[in-house]
Copies of this chain bind each other. A is one copy, B any other.
Amino acid sequence: MANVGSDKPNIRQVATIAGVSHMTVSRVLNDHPNIKPDTKRRVLEAIEELDYRPNLVARALATQRTRRIGVIVESAVAHGPTSILRAVELSARATGYSVTPIALHEGDALSPQEAVDHLVTQGVDALCVIAPRSSSVAALRRIAITVPMLVVKADADPTFLTVSIDQHAGTTSVVDHLVALGHRDILHLSGPLDWLDARARERAFHTRAKSWGIRERPIVVGDWSADFAYDFAKGLTRLPDYTAIFAANDDMAMGLIHGLHDRGFEVPRDLSVVGFDDIPLARHFIPPLTTVRQDFGALGVAVVEMLRAAIEGRDIPALTRIPTELVARGSSAAPREVR
């Protein structure tokens, strides 16, 4: 613990103090077998004495591994992507990896190609893409990439590793919930269909609605924003035929509730509203929002596990599908006809 004033110690200084060669120190650091316990002890003492930390940059140069994962986040403002990024960071750190995020801002000049280039130039060992648009995925598909790439998306993909939130199950649970309450005519307010998550929720919605035999009704395509949903709800000329709206995220659900309120309709008396995400504020909407909770922590773990397997050449675990959970709150109730 001394080493005041001197520069950062390196492996050879440690070796000198321990009276061994620097390779022996390296072996101790990397837990190689066949080190005499006594030698190992002396090395560890020298490390302690100098408060030595291995230089990860030098190690990265020698091993050609940075132990860093590049994460491309689209729409870094949204709750989901942000939570996923944090979960990935946490889980990466727990296994000795670190994370370099890069945000693809909407309307920004940065293309997926450039983002990948940037991160590969940084030397990341693997890439993780969160919440992408299908156009981005198409662009990524065309890039000849030298590192493992994982996309967090609903469906498996032959080109990439994938981990997915079970959008299908989540959406199904929403439809089932509404049908159980007595709804037979439901509007889906989707996200932009260019987004894979929006598309997955929309497809699952149709599938489940059809299997219940309820009215086929065109969806409304939103842009994830509360503003859009507000304008839509505010613009309703009369109480619609449908009795419930399933919004593809909580922001839009919030905008709906607000717009319906301003239009003079009350949720859930006149219309039920359900969201997707379970943002922390969902409980405190007026009324509290029925929504779907996703286990981002589990997702982060799965992402890192799969990427590590790919990086380290181990067997790659099968596609992981993260479960969801319906959280029923006050914004959904029996439809007006039924009561």
**Given A82-B82, A226-B284, A57 and B53 contact (CB-CB distance below 8 Å):** no
Question: Are B284 and A258 closer than 8 Å at their CB atoms?
Answer: yes
A60 interfacial by beta-carbon distance below 8 Å: yes
Is A123's CB under 8 angstroms from B90's CB? no
Can you give 19 A-B contacts (C-beta < 8 A)?
A53-B120, A53-B121, A55-B61, A55-B123, A57-B57, A57-B66, A58-B61, A61-B61, A77-B83, A82-B82, A89-B102, A90-B103, A90-B105, A98-B118, A99-B101, A225-B280, A254-B281, A257-B284, A286-B286
In the bound complex, do residue A56 and residue B227 qualify as a contact, i.e. CB atoms below 8 Å apart? Answer: no
Question: How far, in Å, is A256 (CB) from chain B's closest CB?
Answer: 9
Size of the chain A interface, CB-CB below 8 angstroms: 49
Decide if A56 touches B257 in the complex (CB within 8 Å): no
Query: Measured between alpha carbons, how far is A60 from B288 in the docked complex, in Å?
Result: 52
| Partner of A103 from B86, B123, B230, B283 at Cβ < 8 Å | B86
A251, CB-defined interface residue at 8 Å? yes
Contacts of A61 in B (CB 8 A): 55, 57-58, 61
CA distance A90 to B101 in the complex (A): 10
In contact, A118 and B93 (Cβ under 8 angstroms): yes
Determine how close the nearest CB of chain B comes to the CB of A108; give it in whole angstroms. 9
The yes or no answer to A263 lying at the interface (CB within 8 A) is no
**The one of B55, B146, B255 that contacts A284, using a Cβ cutoff of 8 Å:** B255
| Contact A100 to B98, CB < 8 A, known contacts A57-B60, A118-B93 | yes
Cα A261 to Cα B257 with chains together (Å): 15
The proximity string for A residues 210-246 relative to B, scoring 1 for CB distances below 8 Å and 0 otherwise, is: 0000000000000001110010000000000000000
Q: A298 at interface (Cβ–Cβ under 8 A)?
A: no
Contact B254–A122 (Cβ < 8 Å) = no
Copies, count: 2
Q: Knowing A100-B99, A123-B57, A261-B286 touch, does A77 contact B251 (C-beta < 8 A)? A: no
Binary per-residue interface labels of chain A (43-76) against chain B in the complex, 1 for a CB within 8 Å, 0 otherwise: 0000000000111111011000010100000001
Known pairs A89-B102, A99-B100, A101-B99; A283 contacts B123 (CB<8 A)? no
Set of chain B residues within 8 Å of A284, measured between Cβ atoms: 226-227, 230, 254-255, 257-258
A24 to B56 Cα, complex, angstroms: 28
Query: Do A103 and B121 touch (CB < 8 A)?
Result: no
With contacts A226-B283, A258-B286 taken as known, whether A89 is within 8 angstroms of B103 at the C-beta atoms is: yes
Docked-complex contact B101 and A101, CB < 8 angstroms? yes
Complex CA gap A197/B148 in Å reads 41
Q: For A82, give the chain B residue with the smallest CB separation.
A: B82
Fill in one digit per residue for A251-272: 1 if any B CB lies within 8 Å of its CB, else 0.
Answer: 1001101100100000000000
Name the B residues within 8 Å of A77 (CB-CB).
83, 86, 280
The listed residue with most B CB atoms (<10 A of its CB), out of A99, A251, A284, is A284
